Amino acid sequence: MTTQTPLTVPTRDGHPGRTRVAATLVLEDGRTFRGASYGALGQTVGEAVFSTGMTGYQETLTDPSYHRQVIVMTAPHVGNTGVNTEDDESTRIWAAGYVVRDPAIRSSNWRATRDLEDELADQGVVGICDIDTRALTRHLRERGAMRVGIFSGDAAERGDDELLDAVRTSPQMAGAALAAEVTTAEPYAVPAVGEKRFTVAAIDLGIKAMTPQLMAQRGIEVHVLPATATIDDVLAVGESGPDGVFFSNGPGDPASAEHEVTLLRQVLDRGLPFFGICFGNQLLGRALGFGTYKLKYGHRGINQPVMDRTTGKVEVTAHNHGFAVDAPLDEDSDTAYGRVRVSHVCLNDDVVEGLECLDRPAYSVQYHPEAAAGPHDAAYLFDRFVELMTNRQTNHQQISASEGAH
């Protein structure tokens, strides 16, 4: 075991230098990288995933979908713009560990309030730096996502076998039900910006702050409910019940989300407009009877080309998913809820990126139209939700009008 103190650059002109000690990253297949400590000292285990976004580390770290995952940043320089009070996607950092090559010494941005590394340390996020992140990424690409441990300080003093053992005995991502660990404890409401037009019940499976914000901007009052919410809780939101229901993104294996799938079927049964993102897309898939499967190494980045098969246009989108829906691309499927088509597909690998019910007001996408971080190309999907809810209101008015005529 060689845990030699890494060479670090000393403190300079009153700018706090970072004290770094040796750190080791161990993959479950035994491959080991030695680097220097970053963020908190100690040990962490999780699923190793790589993210190719070159901007948006603050949003990424605070995205609940990364719960129990160790994020490998392919961009070498991380922390350049520090952290600020505006860009968090939730109340804390969810990533289980953080792997970067060249952490910033100094933050530089007019909005920055702190250094990223202080934030990581304070939140107890164990990281590692100064390793060949590209080699690690290539390894994950070839061998698939796998469990990983980061050990620094005293935790790194143990023998390699012991470290590997700690990784191999940690829980797997497949089969994990994690919504309960990330969801809000209490319901809360995000008020509509301007005139309120609709009420939506949003099931928080790990929701990002930008999602209700984008809905609110469209005149939607968003009632965010815990993952344990029942159909009665859903129907009880607002003054006269929801105009639509939303299922958020979130961590874990969709195959383990029984309660959520049941709830979603109840929503579909009632014909309520439904919109799902990411985990919400996988749940819609399951509710419709499709299977889900784990991708070899997932899609994580903000540069993924997705074809909107309705318009034939390509959008560049933010992705963060390790699982996907198994639905036929070439033809519409007949399901218990009528015909369903794959509305969006990833052009890199033909993974299903969106579902659309043709006979119900329900659709979902696997990627992140709320961006944060990422491009805004897919923001139109929120408008589609508004359209569905508008149509429903119009139909209802027509129905009540025609009923009134009798």
Partner 1 sequence: MPKRDDIKSVLVIGSGPIVIGQACEFDYSGTQACRVLREEGIRVILVNSNPATIMTDPEFADATYVEPITPEVVEAIIAKERPDAVLATLGGQTALNCAIALHENGVLEKYGCPLIGANVDAIELGEDREAFKGVVERCGAESARSIICHSMDELLAAAEELSYPVVVRPSFTMGGLGSGFAYDEADLRRIGGQGLQYSPTTEVLLEESILGWKEYELEVMRDHADNVVVVCSIENLDPMGVHTGDSITVAPALTLTDREYQRLRDIGIAVIREVGVDTGGCNIQFAVNPRDGRIIVIEMNPRVSRSSALASKATGFPIAKIAAKMAIGYTLDEVPNDITRETPASFEPSLDYVVVKVPRFAFEKFPAADPTLTTTMKSVGEAMAIGRNFTEALQKALRSLEKKGASFHWDGELTKVAAERALEEAKTPTDGRIVLVQQALRGGCTVEEVHEATGIDPWFLDQIALVNDVAAMLAEADQLTPELLRLVKRHGFSDAQIASIRRMPQAVVRGVRHALGVRPVYKTVDTCAAEFAAATPYHYSSYDEETEVAPRERPAVIILGSGPNRIGQGVEFDYSCVHASFSLRDKGFDTVMVNCNPETVSTDYDTSSRLYFEPLTLEDVLEVIHAESQAGPIAGVIVQLGGQTPLGLAQALEDEGVPIVGTSPGAIHLAEDRGAFGQVLAKAGLIAPKHGTAFSADEALAVAREIGYPVLVRPSYVLGGRGMVIVYDDDSLVTYVEKATEASPDHPILIDRFLDDAIEIDVDALFDGEEMYLGGIMEHVEEAGIHSGDSSCTLPPATLGDGELERVRVATRKLAEGIGVRGLMNVQFALAQDILYVIEANPRASRTVPFVAKATGVPLASAAARVMLGATVKELREEGMLPPSGDGGAMPAHAPVSCKEAVLPFKRFRTKEGVAVDSLLGPEMRSTGEVMGIDVDFGSAFSKAQQGGGSALPRSGAIFVSVANRDKRAMLFPVKRLVDLGFTILATSGTAAVLKRNGIEATVVRKITERDGDAPGEKSIVDLILDGTVQMVVNTPSGQDARADGYAIRAATTSADKPIITTIATLAAAVLGIEAGLTEEIRVKSLQDHARDLDLYGRKDALVGTGATA
Q: How far is Cα 151 from Cα 45, in angstroms, rounded to an integer?
A: 9
Residues 180 to 239: which contact partner 1 by CB under 8 A?
none
Is the CB of 166 or the CB of 373 nearer to partner 1? 373
Is the CB of 189 or the CB of 379 nearer to partner 1? 379
The stretch near partner 1 (CB under 8 A) out of 231-239, 241-249, 356-364, 373-381 is 373-381
The answer to whether 336 touches 289, Cβ cutoff 8 Å, is yes
**Of these, 3, 84, 213, 266, which contacts partner 1 (CB under 8 A)?**
84
Q: Which residues contact 17 (CB under 8 A, 6 or more apart)?
A: 8, 9, 10, 11, 105
* Cα dihedral 291→295→300→301 (10° resolution): -90
- Write the binding mask 16 to 45 for partner 1: x where contact by CB under 8 A, - elsewhere: -----------------x------------
- Write the binding mask 255 to 284 for partner 1: x where contact by CB under 8 A, - elsewhere: ------------------------------
- Does the annotation count 278 as an active-site position? yes
| DSSP H helical ranges for 126-243 | 133-143, 160-168, 179-182, 210-216, 231-235
Q: How far is Cα 336 from Cα 214, in angstroms, rounded to an integer?
A: 31
Assess 248 for contact with partner 1 (CB under 8 A).
Answer: no
Which residue in 59, 117, 223, 278 is the catalytic one? 278
**Of these, 123, 259, 375, 384, which contacts partner 1 (CB under 8 A)?**
375
The answer to whether 281 touches 355, Cβ cutoff 8 Å, is yes
Is the CB of 137 or the CB of 199 nearer to partner 1? 137
**Of these, 1, 329, 336, 347, which contacts partner 1 (CB under 8 A)?**
347
Is the CB of 230 or the CB of 348 nearer to partner 1? 348
Q: Which residues contact 376 (CB under 8 A, 6 or more apart)?
A: none
Number of residues near partner 1 (by CB under 8 A): 63
Is the CB of 260 or the CB of 377 nearer to partner 1? 377
Q: What is the smallest separation between the CB atom of 330 and partner 1, expressed in angstroms?
A: 17
| DSSP H helical ranges for 79-132 | 116-122
- Does the annotation count 299 as an active-site position? no
**Of these, 92, 134, 196, 296, which contacts partner 1 (CB under 8 A)?**
134
- Does the annotation count 129 as an active-site position? no
Assess 55 for contact with partner 1 (CB under 8 A).
Answer: yes
Assess 66 for contact with partner 1 (CB under 8 A).
Answer: no
Q: How far is Cα 357 from Cα 325, in angstroms, rounded to an integer?
A: 14
**Of these, 3, 52, 170, 184, which contacts partner 1 (CB under 8 A)?**
52
**How many CA atoms within 13 Å lie on the side-chain side of 105?**
13
Assess 104 for contact with partner 1 (CB under 8 A).
Answer: yes
- Residue 193 burial (10 A CB sphere; 0-12, 13-18, 19+): middle
Closest by Cα among 122, 47, 46, 48 to 83: 122
Closest by Cα among 41, 385, 405 to 216: 385
Is the CB of 154 or the CB of 349 nearer to partner 1? 349
Q: How far is Cα 33 from Cα 49, in angstroms, rounded to an integer?
A: 15
**Of these, 44, 69, 137, 152, which contacts partner 1 (CB under 8 A)?**
137
**Of these, 16, 92, 113, 135, which contacts partner 1 (CB under 8 A)?**
135
**Of these, 37, 43, 44, 81, which contacts partner 1 (CB under 8 A)?**
81
Is the CB of 98 or the CB of 198 nearer to partner 1? 98
Distance of CA 368 to the CA centre of its chain: 8
Distance of CA 138 to the CA centre of its chain: 22
Closest by Cα among 376, 244, 377, 247 to 308: 377
Q: Which residues contact 70 (CB under 8 A, 6 or more apart)?
A: 44, 45, 46, 47, 48, 49, 95, 96, 97, 98, 99, 148, 150
Assess 374 for contact with partner 1 (CB under 8 A).
Answer: yes
**Of these, 3, 21, 29, 102, which contacts partner 1 (CB under 8 A)?**
102
**Of these, 122, 132, 154, 359, which contacts partner 1 (CB under 8 A)?**
132
Which residue in 139, 223, 319, 368 is the catalytic one? 368
User: Residue numbers of the site for partner 1 (CB under 8 A)?
Assistant: 4, 6-7, 9-10, 12-13, 15, 33, 50, 52-56, 58-59, 74-77, 80-81, 84, 86-87, 101-102, 104-111, 131-135, 137-138, 141, 301-305, 307, 312-314, 316, 347-349, 371-376
Question: Which residues are identified as catalytic?
Answer: 278, 368, 370
